[in-house]
Amino acid sequence: MFTGIIQALGTISPLGGDSWQITCMSQSSELVMRDLAYGDSVAVDGVCLTVEEVLKSGFIATASPETLRRTTLGIEQAEPKYVNLETSLRVGSKIGGHFVMGHVDGIGRMIAAEQTATSWEMTFSAPDAIARYLVPKGSIAINGISLTVADYEPEISQFKVAVIPLTYAETNLRYLVPGSSVNLEGDILGKYVERFLVMGKGEQNNSKDTNHEQITPIFLAEHGYL
């Protein structure tokens, strides 16, 4: 589990087969490399990968065919790709963003980026697998970065986020251009709510226990979830 607060910027290069070399390149790479060990989990552009070998300034990991199919890691690059890096959350650590699982739901694309006086306003498209979890002021992980949905247009499956200058400068968001692909992960809380709603409807149709309180949109609203 991660929090979406990026610790360092790195590059990723294929080594052949399913193996990849991730190299830390930013001044803050010590945050990633300090206690890195075999078997540790690291979010690479929001994709949870397992460290198989620790190098002087990076590590080697394996990306399964399923991971390559569902994420931007499977998109061929002419040159090494810049990636955001974050080590897994430790008990007692600060949670500066939101709970990010490292399980990418799908690939989106950047539509536009506009610099304002206080931030960068960035617009992205989202596939249906992600769009149903988008709500204004809700959380979304873009390339592993915890961001807040500033606006959402469901009719065209696009959403907007405001990125502070520090985040823009310290992550690979600054390398994106219109059409760039990004990894998207919806908020885990939204997924559980969706699951409970589906289960509640099924139980309501099949259960004969009239004393069992069903999980419905009304139930969630009454208990502060909507």
pLDDT digits (tens, 9 = 90+) for 74-87: 888 767 789 999 99
Q: Is 8 helix (H, G, I), strand (E, B) or coil?
A: strand
Tell me how far apart the alpha carbons of residues 64 and 208 are, in angstroms, rounded to a whole number.
44
Q: Is residue 160 part of a domain?
A: yes
Q: Are 24 and 58 in contact (CB under 8 A)?
A: yes
Res 17: pLDDT: 83
Give the domain CATH number at 111: 2.40.30.20
Res 198: pLDDT: 72
User: Is the confidence at residue 203, as pLDDT, over 90?
Assistant: no
Res 188: pLDDT: 83
Provide the total of helices (H) and of strands (E) in the chain, helices listed first: 6, 12
Q: Are 21 and 51 in contact (CB under 8 A)?
A: no
pLDDT digits (tens, 9 = 90+) for 142-157: 999 999 999 999 899 9
pLDDT digits (tens, 9 = 90+) for 92-102: 777 788 889 99
Q: Do 145 and 218 fall into the same domain?
A: no
Give the domain range for residue 200. Answer: 189-222
User: Is the confidence at residue 29, as pLDDT, over 90?
Assistant: no
Res 12: pLDDT: 94
Q: Are 135 and 77 in contact (CB under 8 A)?
A: no
Domain end marker among 24, 57, 87: 87
Tell me how far apart the alpha carbons of residues 178 and 220 are, in angstroms, rounded to a whole number.
38
Tell me how far apart the alpha carbons of residues 2 and 46 are, in angstroms, rounded to a whole number.
9
Half-sphere exposure of 159 (CA within 13 A, CB side): 27
Res 97: pLDDT: 83
Res 124: pLDDT: 98
Distances (CA, A) of 159 to 20, 46, 86, 87, 134: 31, 18, 24, 27, 8
Q: Is residue 1 part of a domain?
A: no
Structure tokens at 137: 């002021």
Q: Is residue 97 part of a domain?
A: no
Look up the pTM and report it.
0.85
Q: Do 143 and 112 fall into the same domain?
A: yes
Q: Is residue 25 part of a domain?
A: yes
Domain end marker among 31, 53, 87: 87
Structure tokens at 224: 């502060």
Q: Do 182 and 203 fall into the same domain?
A: no
Res 210: pLDDT: 46
User: Is the confidence at residue 128, as pLDDT, over 80?
Assistant: yes
Q: Do 110 and 176 fall into the same domain?
A: yes
% of residues, the chain, pLDDT over 90 = 62
Q: Do 26 and 44 fall into the same domain?
A: yes
Q: Is residue 55 part of a domain?
A: yes
Q: Do 164 and 183 fall into the same domain?
A: yes
Q: Which pLDDT band, with edges at 50, 70 and 90, does 197 fall under?
A: confident
Domain end marker among 59, 87, 115: 87
DSSP secondary structure letters along 180-201: -EEEEEE-HHHHHHHHHHHHHH
SS (H, E, C) 129-158: HHHCCCCCCCEEEECCEEEEEEEEECCCCE
Tell me how far apart the alpha carbons of residues 164 and 147 are, in angstroms, rounded to a whole number.
10
Q: Is the dihedral of CA 74, 130, 22, 88 positive or negative?
A: negative
Res 3: pLDDT: 92
Q: Is residue 126 part of a domain?
A: yes
Number of domains in the chain: 3
Q: Do 41 and 71 fall into the same domain?
A: yes
Q: Do 183 and 193 fall into the same domain?
A: no
Task: Give me the mean pLDDT over the 200-218 stretch.
Answer: 55
Res 23: pLDDT: 95
Q: Do 182 and 195 fall into the same domain?
A: no
What is the bridge-based pairing of β-strands 106-115 and 145-153? unpaired
Q: Are 41 and 50 in contact (CB under 8 A)?
A: yes
User: Is the confidence at residue 215, as pLDDT, over 60?
Assistant: no
Task: Give me the mean pLDDT over the 118-123 stretch.
Answer: 96
Q: Is residue 22 part of a domain?
A: yes
Q: Do 169 and 195 fall into the same domain?
A: no
Q: Is residue 47 part of a domain?
A: yes
Q: Which pLDDT band, with edges at 50, 70 and 90, does 189 fall under?
A: confident
Res 166: pLDDT: 94
Compare 11 and 95 and report the one with higher pLDDT: 11
Q: Do 125 and 195 fall into the same domain?
A: no
Tell me how far apart the alpha carbons of residues 139 and 223 are, in angstroms, rounded to a whole number.
20
Q: Do 167 and 212 fall into the same domain?
A: no
